[in-house]
Chains A and B, each alone.
Chain A
Amino acid sequence: MRRLKVFRSLVIDSIDATTKGSRKYNIWMGFLTFIMLVGMYCYSIQLDQGLSVTGMSDRVSWGLYISNFTFLVGVAAAAVMLVMPTYVLKDIDFKQAVLIGEGLAVAALIMCLAFVVADMGGPSVLWHMIPGIGVFNFPNSMLTWDVIVLNGYLFLNISIPFYILFRRYQGKVPNPKIYIPGAVLSVLWAVAIHLVTAFLYQGLQARPFWNNALLGPRFLASAFAAGPALIILVLAIIRSFTDFKIKNKTINKIALIVTVAAQINIIMLISELFKEFYAPTHHSESAYYLFFGLDGKTALLPWIWTAISMNVIATIILTFKKLRENLSVLYFCCFLLFVAIWIEKGFGLIVPGFIPGPYGKIVEYLPTKIEVGVTIGIWAMGAFIFTILAKTAIGIELGKIRYKKKS
């Protein structure tokens, strides 16, 4: 009973905390709400007319939605990079950042689920996928594995921070014996979500571009570069807008993770390029399309070359310790890396898988305005959710929100 009462008070307090804020905060939230409404309007058009309002076709049947889904799974998995040292290796530096990382994972996972639903032809019959009510094709379909790992990871990332914040809210110290096993599990789980998502593509013998053993490991490497890069940027923003103290040492440690992951990612990229272009086979055509264009169809060229150059520049700069420790250079590199990997692991990965088609047909894909609207709307939703989570968490961590503090 008492717990329920505390919980009720926590909910009221956090609603209170998230609805009141500075002028900048209100403008930010109002802006996100507006974008979300635009996205919802676009989605309503898609619901009404069908997926024909998107740029997808029978030849390129997955596009912007699934690209963003794939990328965001990586961002969600990256929360592990912060969880691992904090809880398991007892590295005190990360403690401040880990709640932010897990909040980011929750927001990213909700965006993932939203992108998958947006991509569905029949969202009204999605209950067919719920185990027990519907028919769950487990273990044959990798998509069912993905449903399990994503929702499991979502649960872990909600429950662990919730437990910690719930204790702090009452002014108590969280019991490590309760949250450390969960944290260890979530470390393993994070690797699983990205590997399983890679297997989704890797397991298709029909698509030689995806059907390669490096896809899974490369997913992990790029995720552990892009995710912490985003966390650094978010921490930078939080540092400048709130009283939440994040030491430079913490940011530098995360920067080291980003650097190592980005270096491994580049090595794997070289390996992939070598395999595709040293002795090109029929199966290298998708890579040719991506990097050089096929038959004069070159829609992805500007994107992929932008991504590759951003990736290489950022990795080279980050490799030098002096430059990495200069915060403005670091933020710039993190931004470059994040955008580069969003392109590379997003439509740079999904779209060429379909081009050329099974019989060599080359039909290009360009997202429509409605598709872009829905996508931006979902990103705004993610930012909205993250802002709410972060504001509450920071309030509790700073002791501004406390049980029965006002009385």
Chain B
Amino acid sequence: MSDNKKWYSLDLNFKKKKETSGSCGCGKTSGGCGSHNNEMTDDAFLEAAVNASIGDEVRKDGFDQVFDVKMDRRSAFKKLTASLLIGAGAVSTSCSVVTGDDSKEKAQIDWEEQFKGNYKLMSDKEKKGTVERLMRSYELRTGKNISMTSENAKEDVLFGYAFNISKCQGYMDCVNACIEENNQDRNSQMQYIRIHEMKDGNGFKFDEADDNYYHEVPAEGHFYMGTQCFHCDNPPCVEVCPVQATWREDDGLVVIDYDWCVGCRYCMAACPYDGRRFNWSKPEVPEAEINKNQHYLGNRMRKKGVMEKCTFCVQRSRKGQNPACVEACPTGARIFGNLLDPNSTIRWVLENKKVFRLKEDLGTEPKFWYFMD
């Protein structure tokens, strides 16, 4: 665990394993991943950029939907591209210490990323394309490789979560693990999970609870309860988004396309569970602490002015692993699994424990249950 955490926790020798990947997604060690060519002249490059932007491959790009009109617009657009490319190129060349080829490629990636479509509507090929561009862009910028996937929801999977209130002792190891796993902004101390410390004998009095404590736990006469995004089956946040930048995936995860979000924060106002977070400044994570195993919808680096939230660690859960919070919990208070698998632990909990959910009267159908021993 890192030393710069702000809460007290027992050191139970929990160490997060961090697998790092050594190669770019496309397998090349030099040059770009896309259709670029080292010997390209400027004109040829421009042509390629135009083709790459408006060519036939990128069917559903927002861009394409408009500019797929025939010739005259195309030529007008070509001029537009030229001027923008010159601008982008000039900026990146003047800041760059690498070769001209790299800076041109960077400009091309930026251009394509700026005008790509909504991830929700992309074909698998387009998803792959954007993930490769993002990996390549990271490599060009930092000289380091990350591995990012665009793995889709598996069939017959519906994720659910259960929280054992009797077991939680408020150690906040889950919070810690979540921040490290999901590359959350360190400056603003963003955390998806909040642990509420409540007084025994008062019941669930959230308004009297403390979710920002700094003392030794478990504190005498208190019990603990964690909240995060509940991945509702009927999520109000998804309804209100004006651009469909957030949606419910087939395996029940409510996710965000960080690149499509316009930052209006309507979803934040609509969420009854305090499940959403906003990047008020540019999120910063020290290079050494970056988790390089990423998913497009999960823990990849966010930018300033977009929403983010718990994704049940989509980069882990879709590979059959538990989310970081479940793995980190030293008391076993957190249970995660496939609701459609009759043999899963989560199903056992739902069938054998007296479970309840928060604010059920709102009709949001959270997939997050609480229970007690």
How many residues does chain A have at the interface if contact means C-beta atoms less than 8 Å apart?
49
* Residue in chain A with minimal CB distance to B280: A52
Residue in contact with A358 in the complex, picked from B117, B244, B272, CB distance below 8 Å = B272
Residues on B with C-beta less than 8 A from A322 are none
Please tell me if the beta carbons of B305 and A62 are within 8 angstroms of each other in the complex. no
Residues of A within 8 A of B305 (CB): 50-51, 120-122
Contacting residues of chain B (277-305) with chain A, CB-CB under 8 angstroms: 277-282, 304-305
A407 interface hit (Cβ, 8 Å): no
Q: Does B46 contact A (CB under 8 A)?
A: no
Q: Chain B: which residue is nearest A201 at the CB level?
A: B269
Whether the pair A356, B262 counts as a contact (CB closer than 8 A) is no
Min CB distance A289 to B, Å, is: 11
**Total number of residue pairs linking A and B with CB closer than 8 Å:** 151
Main secondary structure of the interface of A (DSSP, over half): loop
CB distance from A312 to the nearest CB of B (A): 30
Q: Are B62 and A58 in contact (CB under 8 A)?
A: no
Q: Quick check: B264 and A360 within 8 Å, CB to CB?
A: no
Are the CB atoms of A143 and B266 closer together than 8 Å?
A: yes
- Inside 8 A of A62's CB, which chain B residues have their CB? 265, 269
Alpha-carbon distance A141/B263, docked complex (angstroms): 15
In the bound assembly, the distance between CA atoms of A128 and B208 in angstroms comes to: 41
Q: Is residue A147 contacting chain B, with contact meaning CB distance below 8 A?
A: yes
Let me know if B121 is at the binding interface, CB within 8 A: yes
Contact stretch, chosen from B129-137, B235-243, B311-319? B235-243
The answer to whether the Cβ of A159 comes within 8 Å of any Cβ in the partner chain is: no
Once A135-B244, A354-B269, A358-B271 are accepted as A-B contacts, the answer to whether A122 and B280 lie under 8 Å apart by CB is: no
| A269 interface residue (CB < 8 Å to B) | no
Chain B interface, >50% SS class: loop
Give the CA-CA distance A391 to B274 in the complex, in Å: 49
**Is A293's beta carbon under 8 Å from chain B?**
no
Interface-facing stretch out of A204-212, A227-235, A256-264, A332-340: A204-212
Chain B interfacial residues counted at CB < 8 A: 56
Q: Is A57 an interface residue (CB 8 A)?
A: yes
Asked if B78 CB lies within 8 Å of chain A CBs, one says no
Q: What is the bound-complex CA distance between A294 and B305, given in angstroms?
A: 31
Let me know if B75 is at the binding interface, CB within 8 A: no
Contact B280 A50 (CB under 8 A): yes
- Encode contact with A along B101-133: 1 for CB under 8 Å, 0 otherwise: 000000000000010011011000000000000
Contact string, A36-55, partner B, CB cutoff 8 A, digits 1/0?
00000000000001111010
Give the most central of B120, B205, B260, B262: most A CB within 10 Å.
Answer: B262
User: Does A296 belong to the interface (CB within 8 Å)?
Assistant: no
Mask: chain B, 193-213; 1 = CB below 8 Å from A; 0 = not: 010100000000111110100
**Which A242-293 residues sit within 8 Å CB-CB of chain B?**
285
Q: Does B270 contact A (CB under 8 A)?
A: yes
Interface string of B221-246 (1 = CB under 8 A from A): 00000010000000010011111110
Interface status of A357 (Cβ within 8 A of chain B): yes
Asked if A155 is at the interface of the complex by the 8 Å CB criterion, the answer is no
- Shortest distance from the beta carbon of A367 to any chain B beta carbon, whole Å: 14
B140 to chain A, nearest CB (A): 21
Query: Is B274 within 8 A of A122, CB to CB?
Result: no
In the A-B complex, the 7 residue pairs with the closest CB atoms: A121-B263, A121-B305, A360-B207, A206-B272, A52-B280, A143-B242, A52-B281
Contact sample, A vs B, 15 pairs, CB 8 Å cutoff: A51-B280, A120-B264, A121-B306, A122-B306, A128-B118, A133-B62, A134-B118, A140-B239, A141-B242, A143-B242, A205-B363, A205-B364, A206-B271, A359-B209, A359-B274
